[in-house]
Chains A and B, each alone.
Chain A
Amino acid sequence: MNEHVIVQTISKILIPFIQLYALYVLAHGELGPGGGFQAGAIFGASIVLYVLAFGMKSAKLRFKSKVFDFLTSAGVFIFATVGVLCMIAGGAFLQYSSLPLPTKKLASGIGIYGIEIGVFITVTAVLVTIFFETAEQDDD
């Protein structure tokens, strides 16, 4: 898709809103439908839309494959770090209420947000990696 002005303009307008909405789904996961996985899927979809509209060459300049390889592990690392922090604070793995914070409610809220952010990063990176690999499989 070389010179598709309509698609590129609409994508330019829409991508920030999709990403903002993904972050809303991530932050609002306790009260409404959503959570880390869904937010990651929406965020990954926004990057897929960028690749569709501007081509893989332009996308490779912005989204390096190595960065997404790193992020895939980084999300798991955040998840595990929150779990192990709970163990260090004296509870079981992922027992948020043992985190050293003023109230138990605040502790479990922050713990859940921590693992949701980890899941979000991992899902985004894995989905984008899968799309990159399958879209350019007939290059050679």
Chain B
Amino acid sequence: MMFGLAALAIVVAAIMVLYRGIKGPRVYDRLLAINSMGTKTVILIALIGYMYERPHFLDIALVYALINFIGTIAFLKYRETGRLD
């Protein structure tokens, strides 16, 4: 029950972040929205793992956190220099 409520709160927060991602006037607003959406996804995966009593979901959450970081770095670099190498 408690995990369900926490997941619901995360989903509500994710919808607010999604609004900023769609509306955001600048690129950096959208980037920040993507980044915090990724963080919320990590927490949501962990919560769902506890709700369905499958602790292996934590592994997936950890991978998601690492890849999310790399994606943000890549996008910022592309934004700054126009290329990735």
Contacts and interface: CB of A to CB of B under 8 A. Distances in A.
A53 B81 CA distance: 13
Given A51-B85, A52-B74, A14 B60 contact: no
A131 B81 CA distance: 17
Given A1-B80, A52-B73, A135 B85 contact: yes
A21 B63 contact: yes
Contacts of B81: 1
Interface residues of A, number: 27
Interface string A116-140: 0000000000000001001110100
Interface stretch (A42-50, A95-103, A104-112): A42-50
A48 B70 contact: yes
Contacts of B62: 21
Chain B interface category by residue count: 10 to 19
Nearest to B81: A1
A25 B63 contact: yes
Interface of A is mostly: helix
Contact of A55 (B56, B60, B85): B85
B80 to A, nearest CB: 7
A71 interface: no
B73 A53 contact: yes
Interface of A: 1, 7, 11, 14, 18, 21, 25, 28, 31-34, 38, 42, 45, 48-49, 51-53, 55-56, 131, 134-136, 138
